[in-house]
Chains A and B, each alone.
Chain A
C-alpha cells in the first residue's frame, strides 16, 4: 500500500513568517501534486511536479520534488492570512491518486 505522510499535521504562525511542509513516502511516484483546501470547499490543485529534483515556484510558494521521487516539500515565504488552509500532497500511483494526510496551516495577522 502506498502511503504519503505529511508533517507537521498542524502549523500556527504569525503573518510574515516562513514555513516548510513535508510530504514523505517509501514509494516512488511518477509525479506529485499539491492541493490547498479552504473550509467548506474542495481541494484546489496548486502544482504538479514530475521530474526528480524539480523545483517550481508559484509566487511565494516553492515546491520541490525529491531526487528519488519519494518525497516533496512546500515552502511558503512571508506567509499571509490568505494562505490559511489545509495543504494536501498527492502522489500519482499505479492507477489512482494517493492523497497525503494533510497539513492544516493557520496564519494569524
Chain B
C-alpha cells in the first residue's frame, strides 16, 4: 500500500544505548523530515532531507544522526540515548516545502 510507515510504533531503551527509528515512504517524494513532539514545545524539526544523500539540520539536531542513501528511506539514529530524548517522533514526506504527509509516529521512552 502507498504511504509513509514508521517503525517501531513503541520503543523503550536504556540511557546510553543507540537506537534507530525507521521511516519509509512509497511516493518517491523528494523531501523527508523528522520531528519530535513534546508537551509544551509542539512539533520541532530535527533533520530534513531534500533528496537522497542531501540532509540538513533543523531546530534540535543535537544527539541525532540521519542518513538518506535511498529516496524512500530516512532513518533517524540516536547515538547515545538520553532521558531528554523521550518523545514522540514523527516522520513526514513531501514533494515540496509544504503539504506534508506524516507517519503515525514512534513513541520512544528512554529509561
Query: Interface on A for B, CB 8 Å cutoff?
Result: 31, 33, 40-45, 48, 88, 90, 92, 95-97, 99-102
Given contacts A96-B48, A96-B58, contact A45 B42 (CB under 8 A): no
Most buried by A among B100, B101, B105: B100
Partner of B100, one of A40, A45, A100: A45
Flag if A92 contacts B100 (CB, 8 Å): no
Nearest CB in chain B: distance from A104 CB, A: 10
Partner of B42, one of A33, A48, A88, A95: A88
Given contacts A88-B42, A88-B43, contact A45 B101 (CB under 8 A): yes
Partner of A92, one of B48, B90, B98: B98
| 5 shortest interchain CB distances as A-B pairs | A42-B102, A99-B43, A92-B98, A101-B42, A42-B90
**Which residues of chain A are near B45, meaning CB under 8 Å?**
96-97
Given contacts A96-B58, A100-B42, A102-B42, contact A42 B98 (CB under 8 A): no
